[in-house]
Amino acid sequence: MGKVFTPYRLIGLGFAAFIAVIDQIVKWYVVGPLDLRNVRNIELLSFFDLTYTENRGISLGMLEATNMEMRWLLVGLTAVIALVVLIWMMREKYLGDILGLSMILGGAIGNIRDRYLLGYVVDYADLHIGTFRPFLIFNIADAAITIGVVIILARSLFIGDKDDKTTGENTVPAEI
């Protein structure tokens, strides 16, 4: 059995923590100094606004927590998913896979913290083209989760057998 804390896994853990911290700092700024909860909307660019919303559900607003029991069920469910992602990440050897999983983990931690402390997830990023909104209002954690899933899917679909020279199991740099 190999080492649990390889250099790549440590990078992944650090990246997950970075994403969670940045997510929380931006959410604090949005509801604190910007007072977006009361202002409701700030137009930044012709295609991007800050629009305050409270997401009481999970992805795409599904499984909305309408009572305290449902809130804690969602906290528990998302915590279990985050734990599975952490275990998966700690078993991976390849930096690309680890970074994708760390994005999912960091985003999950940011959103779990919101749901645990507030009962909902603070969303604010409103990307649009005129009145057309290709996405729901989201936050950094949501974006990290989505990008992480895309990375994992792309790597599993487009990268065949992985070469042991890129595992991070040793300290010798991989050949390019």
Q: Which residues are tagged catalytic?
A: 123, 142
Locus of tokens 């040793």: 170
Cα dist. 35→32, 43, 125 in Å?
A: 5, 14, 14
d(CA 139, CA 112): 13
d(CA 73, CA 81): 12
112 Cβ contact partners less than 8 Å away, ≥ 6 residues apart: 75, 78, 79, 82
> Long-range contact list for 128-134, CB < 8 A, 24+ apart?
128/47, 128/48, 128/49, 129/47
Across the strands, what pairs with 51? 41
